[in-house]
Amino acid sequence: MSEAAISAEGLVRTFGDVRALDGVDLEVPEATVLGLLGPNGAGKTTAVRVLTTLLRPDSGRASVAGVDVLKHPDKVRSLIGLSGQYAAVDEYLTGQENLQMVGELYQMSAREAKARARELLKRFSLDDAAGRIAKTYSGGMRRRLDLAAALVVRPPVMFLDEPTTGLDPRNRMALWEVIEELVGEGTTLLLTTQYLEEADRLAHDIAVVDRGRVIARGTADQLKAQIGGERVEVVVTDSAALPLAVEALAPYAIGEPTVEPHTRRITVPVTGGARVLADVIRDLDARGILIHDIGLRRPTLDDVFLSLTGHVTEAEEGGDEDEGGPQSPDGETGAGRRAGRKKARV
């Protein structure tokens, strides 16, 4: 038995001609979060369904908390929590009843189940709606109730399939906090997401999946480093100053500069971070070159995703099958963060 809380080897699952899983290996150490990233149709949900015993693979093996998923599915089910891309709450029970029922199903005392239900309803801002039947909930409310249901019992291993799709920024944050608490207490989590910022914040390790295969794996920083380092971007006020500015930047560049005359922008790859930026500003100033804008850009996970898969994520494309519609993970506040993103679409 390995140390890994979730482990998969050579998982293959086909649907007719589609190889939804085409030899997937995964390894998630205990009390860590693995972020499964990938474009639509990559095989993320299929992988989650196999690991949670809802679907049998054509070949390969998998274990959860040391228990073989194919040989002992019942045992595995008792060890995991699952929240799916599509909600599974009972429409004719109230929010409170839904959560309480889950608790009692998992052998909590009535009193304990009630208290846990209350706590979670509060956490996800559902306390006002606790006494209403779920049928009357909005899409986002249902989603939150489904998530709360997955969190009633604190299972050793959790699977969350796009947990924050359709949630507003406040509820997304609330969920992140709950997740961080659980992982701090020892829960292992496999999370799929279209929001790269979510993976950046929560995942210890990221596996990028495309066409049923894991095409890259590492920490967010490792993946970013893989596609190239930081760069200084300068926009000069007067395009006549471009040649002079290129000359001033040359000592700092560790590669060829890119010059875009129409936007008066020069980009040079650098190392050394903010220190270099300060030196560059001083140098340009000493030469009397007026700066319209300047910044240090680091690659974002968006850049990584684009460069690896050649797709933008669903959240970026603006297409979304979920009722909440596309939302950026931070309510699109991060002008600075977003500024570093290439707009390329393939």
Residues 320 and 307: their CA atoms lie apart, in Å, by: 22
Nearer CB in complex with ligand ATP: 46/187: 46
Number of Cβ atoms within 10 Å of the Cβ of 14 = 15
- Residue of 35, 38, 84, 340 that binds ligand ATP (CB under 6 A): 38
Binding mask 176-205 for ligand ATP (x = CB under 6 A): ------------------------------
Number of Cβ atoms within 10 Å of the Cβ of 333 = 11
Site for ligand ATP in 39-68 (CB under 6 A): 40-46
Nearer CB in complex with ligand ATP: 211/265: 211
Number of Cβ atoms within 10 Å of the Cβ of 337 = 14
Nearer CB in complex with Mg ion: 23/41: 41
Nearer CB in complex with Mg ion: 41/272: 41
Q: Report, in Å, the least distance between residue 215 CB and ligand ATP.
A: 13
Question: Is residue 18 within the footprint of ligand ATP (CB under 6 A)?
Answer: yes
228 binds, among ligand ATP, Mg ion, none (CB under 5 to 8 A by kind): none
Q: Report, in Å, the least distance between residue 290 CB and Mg ion.
A: 50
Task: Please give the order of strands across the beta sheet that includes 258-260.
Answer: 258-260, 265-269, 231-236, 291-297
Contacts of 206 (CB under 8 A, 6+ apart): 34, 35, 36, 37, 199, 216, 217, 218, 219, 220, 223, 301
- Residue of 1, 2, 15, 185 that binds ligand ATP (CB under 6 A): 15
Q: Report, in Å, the least distance between residue 36 CB and ligand ATP.
A: 8
Residues 229 and 340: their CA atoms lie apart, in Å, by: 12
Question: Is residue 156 within the footprint of ligand ATP (CB under 6 A)?
Answer: no
Q: Report, in Å, the least distance between residue 98 CB and ligand ATP.
A: 24
**Nearest one of 298, 296, 316 to 306, comparing CA atoms:** 316
41 binds, among Mg ion, ligand ATP, none (CB under 5 to 8 A by kind): ligand ATP
Helix axes 139-151, 110-123, angle to 10 degrees: 140
78 binds, among Mg ion, ligand ATP, none (CB under 5 to 8 A by kind): none
Q: Report, in Å, the least distance between residue 162 CB and Mg ion.
A: 6
267 binds, among ligand ATP, Mg ion, none (CB under 5 to 8 A by kind): none
Q: 113 near 103, Cβ under 8 Å?
A: yes
Helix axes 139-151, 95-105, angle to 10 degrees: 20
Q: Report, in Å, the least distance between residue 194 CB and ligand ATP.
A: 6
Place of tokens 């109730």: 145
Residue 35 phi/psi, 5-degree rounding, is: -95, 125
Q: 81 near 103, Cβ under 8 Å?
A: no
Name the residues that contact Mg ion, by CB under 5 A: 44-45, 85
Q: Say if residue 20 is exposed, middle or buried (CB neighbours under 10 Å; 0-12, 13-18, 19+).
A: buried
Q: 111 near 189, Cβ under 8 Å?
A: no
Q: 236 has which bridge partners? A: 291
Question: Is residue 83 within the footprint of ligand ATP (CB under 6 A)?
Answer: no
117 binds, among ligand ATP, Mg ion, none (CB under 5 to 8 A by kind): none
Q: Report, in Å, the least distance between residue 64 CB and ligand ATP.
A: 18
Q: 189 has which bridge partners? A: 33, 158
- Residues lying near ligand ATP in the complex (CB under 6 A): 15, 18, 20, 38, 40-46, 85
